Amino acid sequence: MNNKIIGREKEIKILQKCLAINESQLIIVYGRRRVGKTFLINNFFENSFDFKVSGAYDLPKEAQIKNFVAEINLSFKKNYDTPSNWSDVFFLLRKELESLPQERKSVVFIDEMPWLDTPSSGFLPAFEYFWNNWGSSRENLICIVCGSATQWIVDNISENKGGLFNRQSCRLYLEPFSLNETEKFLVSRGFVWSRYDIAECYMIMGGIPYYLNYLDNSLTLNQNIDALFFKRRGLLWDEFSHLYATLFKNSPQYIKVVEALSKKRMGMTRDEIAKESGLKPNGELTKLLENLENSSFIHVYCYFGNKKKNRIYQLSDYYTLFYYKFLKNNTGTDENFWTNSLDNPSVRAWKGLSFELLCRDHINQIKRKLGIEGVLTETSVWYQKGSEGEKGAQIDLVIDRRDRIINLLEIKFSEHEFDIDKKTSESLINKRECFRRNTKTKKALHLTLVTTYGCKGNRNIIQSEVTLDSLFG
């Protein structure tokens, strides 16, 4: 393994364990497109594979088979003719793997496997037979299958109810970088940005290595964003159409869902999504939501005290949120749009929402700062509409603790210390008391302020605070 890999400590330990076991290993690597799956496998194995092949997007069966056999010929210095079916292809692969020295591990890497499984191609049954009838009985075979189409990987490999049921040795779901890993990635590439800038960058791109790799360390953050997204033919100006088309076969349906969710900050119930998107509230919508959650494009929350009903679906992919807010209807006339919009109210509102999402994605770091990492907790959202004689209230995040304390999180993104003035104090107290009245909880309620640079003013009304630095922990 070389030293190019940033983070991924947990995944590396799992891969090392798989290498040490004297049994065949079927390793599934999946996750959002652009998250670094192929990079991890290539660099962990130092590009030393006995056989490696990748599916190609939107090619027919015949072309996929031709590419696969061409890679067999190149890897094993053969000159096989191209068979007409996948079963014969896997028999060729089996024949060549059997000829390798048995005293060492043989490593096979099939990347973008979902793209190989074209309609009515017979790919999956052929792979099932290859693995079940031969591969699984080997002591020295490691087979890694990888794919960005998380829906296909989960349905056909990870949760396969047929020939691959319980056949995989391990599943690696690769998540985006955390803030800590993003900082390490940027530092390794010569960036000297502040943590404020890194956080704002994260709120645009998320912890997606593919996007981060396009950043130029000779430019400021604002210049980078203009160059990548707003200059004509910038490297990421058309990413949205590629992203969803290559992930989901019926991508227009998924786009209807995420577009609906992009319009409501707090998220929506399933019925609200159906109404806004025009999709029917049936099993198909349920599957769409499930696949978007599996691909980390949405988060699913419950209202406090209501675990089963009215689950809240919130768009959680930073790039998609940024696209709908600033890119979808951008005319492209201002190539310095981002630099020129820093004081725009819509940008400030977007920063507030995206910082809330960033905090939710780093809830473990927040709990560590609060000293409750080892306490059993449940995280939820809560709001109460106003009524006659009572103000409404919204809690950004609720942490319900087993030690009979509830942290009510108020999340604020600010360029300076956040000022808890009289108006803010009254608002926080109203939120706490509104929560107490409407939930009828008997637990102690702790107001927790999460900000970029801490707070000043009437600090006595809060019980704890978390700053941006803690999110990098």
pLDDT, tens digit (0-9, with 9 covering 90-100), for 410-458? 999 999 999 999 999 999 999 999 999 999 999 999 999 999 999 999 9
Looking at the predicted structure, is the pLDDT value of residue 165 above 60?
A: no
* 115-154: pLDDT as tens digits: 999 999 999 999 999 998 999 989 899 999 998 877 788 7
User: In whole angstroms, how far apart are CA 406 and each of 409, 412, 443, 450, 465?
Assistant: 9, 19, 7, 15, 14
Q: Which of 131-135, 140-144, 239-243, 268-272 shows the lowest per-residue confidence on average (mean pLDDT)?
A: 239-243
- H helix count then E strand count, the chain: 20, 14
**CA 270 → CA 28, 251, 265, 361, distances in Å?**
30, 19, 15, 22
Please check whether the domain covering 370-471 is classified as CATH 3.40.1350. yes
Query: Amino acid identity, residue 280?
Result: K
Q: Which residue has the higher pLDDT, 393 or 305?
A: 393
What integer pLDDT is reported at residue 161 of this predicted model?
56
Instruction: Report the CATH fold assignment for 178-361.
Output: Arc Repressor Mutant, subunit A (1.10.10)
Domains of the chain: which residue ranges? 9-173, 178-361, 370-471
CATH of 9-173, one of 3.40.30.10, 3.40.190.10, 3.40.50.300, 3.20.20.70: 3.40.50.300
Mean pLDDT across 69-95: 97
For residues 123 and 86, the answer to whether their CB atoms sit within 8 Å is yes
Distance CA 9, CA 120 (A): 39
